[in-house]
Amino acid sequence: MHAIENNIKKLNLRIESACKQYQRNPSTVHLLAVSKTQPAESLANAYELGLRLFGENYVSEASEKMHRLPGDIEWHFIGPIQSNKSRFIAESFSWVHSVDRLKIARRLSEQRPNDLEPINCLIQVNISSEEQKAGISSENALTLAEEIMKLPQLTLRGFMAIPSPTQSLENLENDFANMGQLLRQLHTFCDTADTLSMGMSNDFELAIKHGATIIRVGTDLFGPRQQQK
């Protein structure tokens, strides 16, 4: 059996068992295959095994892979967004997880072609680590949400978080719980907010416990990353 096939089986078992343990409906937890640094062949493998959601962090790398892979893949941009790369993201991705400022949100809305559905947008929240630069504070996230809701070519779907990996399990759980709380607050004034993108290879069970609807898995799906960009 191919390594990726084996990995997908193991992941599905972990997801199923977490859903059972935490009383989540498995159809509400989506596996995003985080494919940064992985060759297009590995993505094609995962595609053949049924995966359709792929997450990429770098624009140039994503553009190389996209035209070598089937057209019905749902591409998610999950990396830091540079202003000069926003057009490609607006034109080529279905989802963007890493919106953390209004300037970028406005550019994405302006650059999203009118013949495409609005791009699904998540606000990245800097939930735990002081040293982390990406993400808006949770205090300011709802204010940014109100502004993003006014933009015609964006559909605000919820939040994304990358908690600090070095902290205690208790703090990590606290971060995930706070994200769940934040989504519930957003949902009181935003009907389209139904998504929490959180949980990676090492911690997605805990994220599922606290309401993750997209888990972003790289290493435990594709194996160790290739040379970092």
Ligand X SMILES: *Cc1c(COP(=O)(O)O)cnc(C)c1O
Interface with ligand X, residue 17, by CB under 6 A: no
Interface with ligand X, residue 217, by CB under 6 A: yes
Q: Which one of residues 7, 57, 138, 213 is an interface residue with ligand X (CB under 6 A)?
A: 57
Determine which helix (DSSP H) or strand (DSSP E) holds 40, and give its type and residue range: helix 40-48
206-221 core/surface letters (b: 16 or more CB in 10 A; e: else) = bbbbbbbbbbbbbebb
Site size with ligand X, rule: CB under 6 A: 12
Classify the phi-psi angles of 39: left when phi > 0, otherwise alpha if psi is within -120 to 50, otherwise beta.
beta
Q: Which residue is nearest to ligand X (CB)?
A: 218
User: Of the candidates 205, 175, 158, which has an alpha carbon nearest to the alpha carbon of residue 29?
Assistant: 205
Alpha-carbon distance of 224 to 96, in angstroms, equals 24
Interface with ligand X, residue 65, by CB under 6 A: no
Residue 188 Cβ vs ligand X, minimum distance, rounded to whole Å: 27
Residue 191 Cβ vs ligand X, minimum distance, rounded to whole Å: 26
Q: Which one of residues 34, 104, 151, 196 is an interface residue with ligand X (CB under 6 A)?
A: 34
Alpha-carbon distance of 134 to 136, in angstroms, equals 7
One character per residue 129-168, x = contact with ligand X (rule: CB under 6 A): ---------------------------------x------
Q: Which is nearer to ligand X, 57 or 195 (CB)?
A: 57
Specify the amino acid at residue 31.
L
The contact set with ligand X (CB under 6 A) reads 34, 36, 57, 78, 162, 200-201, 216-220
